[in-house]
Amino acid sequence: MKSILFSTLMGAAMLASPAIAHPGQSAEEHAQEIAERRAYLANNKRSLAHCAEKLKARGNDVAMHARRSAAFEKARAKRAISQDKPYLRARDLDTVLNTSHESNLTGITVDSDPSILFAGNNSCILTPETTQGPYWVQGELVRKDITEDQEGVPLTLDIQIIDVNTCEPVPEAFLEIWHCNSTGVYSGVVANGNGDNSDSTNLDNTFFRGIQQSDADGVVVFETLFPGHYTGRATHIHVMTSQDATVNANETLSGGSITHVGQMFFDQDLISLVEQEEPYASNTQELTTNAEDSILAEEASDVDPMIEYVLLGDSVSEGIFGWLAFGMDTNNAFNITPAAYLTENGGVVNENAGSGMGGGGPPSGTGAPPSGAIPSGTGVPPSGTASLLESAAATTLLTVSTSGASSTVRFDERERLFGCSIYAMISSSAMEWLDAE
């Protein structure tokens, strides 16, 4: 098994140079990473473009038009917004990262064919990454509404999962999402760089975390709020899919295999609108734009990784309806060590998640479940205590196996992710560079 360690310290120095993609990464290392990504992408599927004709032939477009239109009107009704209001699109669909263009708020009238509005089945980039996103907490609940008592701009997310190998929707898969709140804080984790690291009660919080099972069309719907931002990252939502899992009596998952880990991003114009609203406007952390995410900017030349959206009412404060389709390789098997666990007694830190510092391989006793599997229950004893994370960055261990090969990679929790990605889609040819030790 090949293994490699990527670990950096999350701190103020991470923003010293906008050309550096990951905190602590030198310009030379960044250039090498770009070259490696280009070499990989030249021989691998990057989007769902190859599935377009098949999806259209099976009626997927028509079904999605009708379903998204109905979901949009339902979201309006929930917020008592008149059905007669026009559809407002605050987005230039021909541009991914043009941060200087003005928003087009005239949009499409309510009398327009819904297929015009909801025609796009925007798809995420399928690329290998050297980072694994921050703060996954194992044991979160199966639920549609993940807002709890948080404040912010309402966001309804409609997500379709497509098998990149068969170009068919993936039914009965579980999609988990997690993101920070309006002021850039993740629930369930206590660590430097994540709000007040002296507030141990955040370990028990569960806001903006949840799981849904896809329907016959491979679709899941979440009710949440638009995520805020934190220093060094563009605004994003984390996603993870698993298959063949079982819903327990306590509405958690057990068993199954993790098949996709990635992120979803938003158009910069939409972010700018939201950031003018409270409590987002009170967030004192520095805002990192999509354009400042150098790898995302590089990918955007031929792939659009952003969530499609319309406003529910006359202003962004009334809510947003967003949708996206992304590709998943059902043959993948990811093994991820969480930063913490949610148990019946509250949150418990995974002490084996690592500190994000040091060299060599992963620590002994990784605490990871069997390769490719989600452990039964929460994976943590019902009682006991654990020290809070005091490191500047938590780490995650990720094992991926494809075509009989496997690799374990240790990733810094606060390193950037770019695009909605399938991480480390490993093959012997794509990962030859790992042999240089």
Neighbouring C-beta atoms of residue 388, cutoff 10 Å:
18
For residues 244-267, average pLDDT:
89
More confident residue, 13 or 157: 157
3-state secondary structure of 219: strand
Q: Give me the pLDDT at residue 59, please.
A: 53
**What is the amino acid identity at position 234?**
A
Which one of 55-59, 70-74, 427-431 scores highest in mean pLDDT?
70-74
Q: Report pLDDT for 157.
A: 93
Q: Which whole-number Å values give the CA distances from 223 to 75, 82, 158, in the listed order?
A: 9, 19, 9
The length of the chain is 437
- Strand duo 340-343 + 346-349: pairing: antiparallel
What pLDDT is recorded for position 201?
Answer: 94
State the average pLDDT for the chain. 65
Residue 318 burial (10 A CB sphere; 0-12, 13-18, 19+): middle
- Asked if the model's pLDDT at residue 117 lies above 50, the reply is no
Q: Which structure tokens are listed for 330?
A: 């059902």
Each residue of 131-184: pLDDT tens digit? 455 689 999 999 999 999 999 999 999 888 888 888 888 999 999 999 999 999
Domain boundaries, given as residue ranges, for the chain = 2-435
Determine what percent of the chain is predicted with pLDDT higher than 70: 47
Contacts of 124 (CB under 8 A, 6+ apart): 47, 262, 264, 305, 324, 326, 327, 419, 420, 421
Residue 340 pLDDT: 94
Which residue type occupies 154? P
Lowest pLDDT segment from 107-116, 194-203, 346-355? 107-116
Q: Return the CATH class of domain 2-435.
A: mainly beta
Where is 238: in which H helix or E strand? Answer: strand 236-243
State the residue for tokens 């050309």: 19
Query: Which has the minimum average pLDDT: 30-39, 287-296, 309-318, 356-365?
Result: 356-365
pTM value surpassing 0.95: no
Sheet containing 137-138: order of strands: 137-138, 340-343, 346-349
Query: Residue 197: pLDDT above 80?
Result: yes
Paired sense of beta strands 333-336 and 340-343, if any: unpaired
Question: Does the pLDDT at position 326 exceed 70?
Answer: yes
Cα angle 160, 161, 163 (rounded to 5 degrees) comes to 145
Do the beta carbons of residue 360 and residue 195 sit within 8 Å?
no
Quote the DSSP letter at residue 51. G
What pLDDT score does 368 carry? 34
Q: Is 319 left (phi over 0), alpha (psi -120 to 50) or beta?
A: left
Highest mean pLDDT among 76-90, 104-118, 351-365, 389-403: 76-90
Share of the chain above pLDDT 90, in %: 28
pLDDT at position 270 over 70: yes
Residue-level pLDDT at 306: 76
Contact between residue 112 and residue 87 where contact means Cβ atoms under 8 Å apart? yes
- Higher pLDDT: 156 or 102? It is 156
Tell me which of 18-32, 78-92, 214-228 is least confident: 18-32
Residue for token digits 């810094």? 412
Report how far residue 422's alpha carbon sits from residue 261's, in angstroms, rounded to the nearest whole number. 6
Burial class (CB in 10 A: 0-12, 13-18, 19+), 149: exposed
Low-confidence winner among 136-145, 212-221, 246-255, 320-329 (lowest mean pLDDT): 320-329
* Residue 77 predicted with pLDDT over 60: yes
